[in-house]
Amino acid sequence: MKKLRITVWVVCLLLVSACGGRTSTDGKTTMIIGGSTSIQPLMESIAEAFNEKADATVSIQGGGSSVGIKGTEDGTFQIGMVSRELKADEAKQLKETVIALDGIVVIVNKDNPVDSITMEQLQQIYTGKITNWNQVGGLDKEIAVVSREEGSGTRDGFESIVGFTSSELIKNSDIQNATGSIISDVSVNEHGIGYISLGSLSDNVKVLKINGVLPSETSVKDGSYQIQRAFLLVEKKGETHDQALFDYIFSKEGKKLIEEHNYIAVERK
Amino acid sequence: MNGIRTKLRIDAIFKTIVFFFTIVSVVALAAILIFTLLKAIPLFQEVNLIDFITSDVWSPSTNQFGIASFIVASVLTTILACLIGIPIGLYTAIFISEIAPKKIASLVLFAVEILASIPSVIYGFFGLTVMVPLVQQLFNIRSGTTLFTASIILALMILPTVVSLSTSALKAVPKTIDEGSLALGATKMQTILKTKIPYAKSGILTSCLLGLGRALGETMAVMLVAGNANMMPQLFPISEAYLSSGRTLTGNIIMELAYASGIHEAALFATGVVLFIFVCIINIVILRVKKRGVAHS
């Protein structure tokens, strides 16, 4: 009994010490930003650098784009991170600022003779309607689909742009939870097809043209390459926050951070 | 007089220190258990345990959480890994303890111990770059990331456990047993197979069960080579199951934990709870086997 009591006490102490509260600071920029897990790592680096530079306390939370939108609308977050387009009713309430662009490239094995596929073919490959490379002009080889895990922002973006849902993804698709694993999976398998962020591309694999367009910084920026998404920061309309953070994001330093995360920096609009 | 009192005091202090450190390890276990259970609770407010274990639909985006297919994949890989790894390990142990000259025996043992200290991510990387293409070409399938590949890697990984523990179990058999058997006219092989192994049975069985536990709990290497497809393996014919991509319980946790939040995260912790139950069952069996071994001798 005594031992049990000691155990309970120690566990309680551990729990209490793990829940240290956040202290508020006066006279500084204090902000909670939340939403898309795709943008989260980028915004965490930006917040870290910004906090140090401007002596501010900006904290970043995840949850996903929808959580970001809801949180911004109800005031939980001052700024929401969204990695998809705003729906019409959402756009009525929120003001969006594009901070970066991300292209998603489709990769195959270097020995695969296929160079280009259409968006529709890509959708059919990932939903299991096309299962052999010879159906898209390649060799008579079964297609081995590789995808990211549920919850990954890249997967989320890929699925919504290409046009299918997670439950429609071909069942026997390999799932890898890192860009590196997808690249090595595809680089050793002639049957393979996968997708990764444009900035993480390596020489071990071959990039497919989509609808005839090769992904590049230019083709993403001018919109001709279709599998791309914008990273948005949203604010409630009519509410103006400290613009110092935005100024920082679009400054040289901010752009450098965006490029370090392998995304494409844009000009402020 | 004074000397004795000091000695007694040191004794008491030492006892306290021992007790304290014991408490630390027990508390660590309790803390992990409580934390995992607490984190899993939100799931069970929406899904009941039976559905969670028996449903094979895992779709976090539509809030459907069933881990049946992951349980099946874990069981399949663990069984095949043991079927391959245990005989190899056992025969290696016999070679080391009975047959090999001392120098060679210590060399083999050294090699096996090195095998034990290789980080699992290296096994995984070896699997991904060497075994996966090999399996693909061998069976002419669309992808070499299969449960079979994972089982092979796991078999390698459980070897050290099986070899070293079985070796010590065999070495612990008293000389008199050997001599008695040989004196009765049995050959060396007969002595090993019919008297020594039965005598060391509980130790050998324990080594196999520990190997089994290791195979069930291994994460990184398996995740890299198993393919992690979110689907129920097709059990008939069984070769179909092994030659397709699959996801184990451990793989599921590590695969999705990074971005999971809310009930999805709870479901991953609940996967951990199920894994914990499996490990407990194995450990209880090990305790039973050990007890029977003690009673036997």
Q: What is the ipTM score, two decimals?
A: 0.82
Å between B105 CA and nearest CA of chain A: 38
Is A151 close to B260, i.e. CB distance below 8 A?
Answer: yes
Q: For residue B101, what pLDDT is reported?
A: 94
Helix, strand, coil fractions of chain B, as percent rounded to 5: 80, 0, 20
- pLDDT, tens only, B200-217: 999 999 999 999 999 999
Cβ-defined contact of A151 to B264 (cutoff 8 Å): yes
Query: What integer is the mean pLDDT of B9-30?
Result: 94
What three-state secondary structure class fits B102?
helix
Domain A2-101+230-265, CATH? 3.40.190.10
- Check CB contact under 8 Å for A174 and B143: yes
Give the residue on B whose Cα is nearest the Cα of A10: B27
Asked whether this chain's domains A2-101+230-265 and A103-228 adopt the same fold, the reply is yes
pLDDT at A154: 87
pLDDT at A21: 35
CA distances from A55 to A48, A52, A254 (A): 10, 5, 16
Interface test with B, best of A2, A109, A175, A185 (most B CBs within 10 A): A175
Tens of pLDDT along B230-277? 999 998 899 999 999 999 999 999 998 877 878 999 999 999 999 999
| Sign of the Cα pseudo-torsion (B12, B16, B17, B22, in order) | positive
Q: Write out the DSSP string of A151-204.
A: T-HHHHHHHHHHT--GGGS-TT-EEESSHHHHHHHHHT-TTEEEEEEGGG--TT
Go through chain A and tell me how many residues it has: 269
Among B19, B34, B63, B228, most A C-beta atoms within 10 A, so best to mutate, is B228
**Could you give the CA distance from residue B12 to residue B31 in angstroms, rounded to a whole number?**
28
Candidates 1.10.3720.10, 1.10.10.970, 3.20.20.70, 1.10.287.130; correct CATH number of B49-296? 1.10.3720.10
Q: What is the pLDDT of residue B221?
A: 94
Q: Taking residues B153-174, what's their average pLDDT?
A: 95
Chain A: which residues have CB within 8 Å of chain B?
A: 3, 6-7, 10-11, 14, 37, 62-64, 67, 141-144, 149-153, 165-167, 171-177, 181, 184-185, 188-189, 191-192
Q: For position B290, what pLDDT does the model report? A: 83
Closest-CA distance, A148 to chain B, in angstroms, reads 9
Alpha-carbon distance values, A70 to A90, A150, A157, B224 (Å):
9, 21, 19, 36
**How large is the C-alpha radius of gyration of chain B?**
23
Q: How many CB atoms lie within 10 A of CB B58?
A: 21
Give yes or no for residue B88 having a pLDDT over 70: yes
**Long-range CB pairs of B184-191, under 8 A, 24+ apart, other chains included:** B188/B98
Write out chain B residues lying below 8 Å of A181, CB-based: 128, 224
Q: Beta A94-108 vs A264-265: how paired, if at all? A: antiparallel
Task: For residue A94, list its beta bridge partners.
Answer: A236
Which ranges of chain A have pLDDT less than 70? 1-28, 241
Any idea which fold A103-228 has? D-Maltodextrin-Binding Protein; domain 2 (3.40.190)
> Quick one: pLDDT at residue B294?
67
Contact A51, A33 (CB under 8 A): no
Nearest residue on chain A to B62, alpha-carbon basis: A167
Residue with tokens 């998809």: A84
B101-128 pLDDT, tens digit each: 999 999 999 999 999 999 999 999 999 9
What are the chain B neighbours of A175 within 8 Å (beta carbons)?
Answer: 227-230, 247, 255
Which of B16, B230, B247, B252 is the best mutation test for A, with the most CBs of A within 10 A? B230
Distances (CA, A) of B12 to A144, B3, B16: 66, 14, 6
Q: What rounded mean pLDDT belongs to chain B?
A: 92
Q: Where along chain A do its domains lie?
A: 2-101+230-265, 103-228
Instruction: Classify each residue of A26-40 as buried b or exposed e, where b means 16 or more C-beta atoms within 10 Å of its C-beta.
Output: eeebebbbbbbbbbb
With contact defined as beta carbons under 8 Å apart, do B271 and B253 qualify? Answer: yes
Per-residue confidence (pLDDT) for residue B296, from 0 to 100: 58
Structure token digits, residue B67 = 């881990």
Tokens describing residue B248: 């184990």
Give the pLDDT mean for B157-161. 95
Q: For chain B, positions 254-273, list CB contacts with chain A under 8 A.
A: 254-256, 258-262, 264
Q: Quick one: average pLDDT of B42-50?
A: 92
The pLDDT assigned to A16 comes to: 45
A197-250 pLDDT, tens per residue? 888 888 899 999 999 999 998 999 999 999 999 999 999 988 776 788 999 999
**Residue pair A227/A197 in contact by the 8 Å Cβ criterion:** no
Q: What is the sign of the dihedral through the CA atoms of B48, B51, B54 and B58?
A: negative
- Residue B1: pLDDT band by 50, 70, 90 thresholds? low
pLDDT value at residue B144: 93
| pLDDT value at B293 more than 50 | yes
Residue B51's pLDDT band, with cuts at 50, 70 and 90, is very high
